[in-house]
Structure 1
């Protein structure tokens, strides 16, 4: 398996499972996949964060707004791995309750990653709502 194939498998398994947990109200798996080293950043549809502590706070706040995730699917449009750095450009298709209201929507998300101690970690995320 090539490095790109191995990375894509991780995106479609570990990362997808962690994101689904976030949309079901549990931030822990997602927080665990973020880099332990600075810099890290998040530019989201609702919140922005700079630094690991702020990212942890935002992920916890987001999880508090989500529950009852019935579906989460990542559609990878583009990805690459160069040494210990990688990126993805995706659509994220989500069915979950947001602030108690059932919703179905799609996010456009770009993420960067670095390999730390042999494991992929998120270093940056930019996500926004795809408008109809």
Structure 2
């Protein structure tokens, strides 16, 4: 399997599962796919965070808001792998409840990844409403 094929398998597997879990109120899987280093950042549709502690706090707040995810999909527009770095650009489409109110929405999401000792990890995310 090539580096690109391995990366896409991870995106379609672990990453997708973590995002679905987050939309169901469980931030544990998302924490697991993010780097534990301090050089992490998220510029989110609802909240920004720089550094691991701020990121974990943001995940906890977001997870408390989300529940009842009935759909999550990622329409990949572009990606590349260059050694131990990779990126994705695409649309996240989901139906979930936010603070108890069902909503369907789409986010434009760009993420940067680094291959670490235990596999691919997210190091940066930027997402906003499409």
Instruction: Provide the rounded CA distance (Å) in 2 between the counterparts of 1:82 and 1:38.
Output: 22
1:38 Cα offset (Å): 2.5
Match of 1:86 in 2: 86
Task: Report SS of the residue matched to 1:79.
Answer: strand
Instruction: Provide the rounded CA distance (Å) in 2 between the counterparts of 1:93 and 1:43.
Output: 18
Structure 1 segments (4+ residues) deviating >2 Å = none
Q: How does 1:99-118 map to 2 (within 5 A)?
A: 99-118=99-118
**Please, which runs of 5 or more residues in structure 2 have no aligned partner?**
none
Change (3 A) 1:42 1:107: same
Match of 1:51 in 2: 51
TM-score norm. by structure 1 comes to 0.96
Question: What are the Cα deviations for residues 30-57 of structure 1, in whole angstroms up to 9, with x where unaligned?
Answer: 0111101221000001110000010011
Q: Aligned residue pairs: how many?
A: 130
Instruction: Provide the rounded CA distance (Å) in 2 between the counterparts of 1:38 and 1:76.
Output: 27
- The Cα RMSD (Å) is 0.7
1:59 Cα offset (Å): 0.7
1:77 Cα offset (Å): 0.7
**Please, which runs of 5 or more residues in structure 1 have no aligned partner?**
none
TM-score norm. by structure 2 comes to 0.98
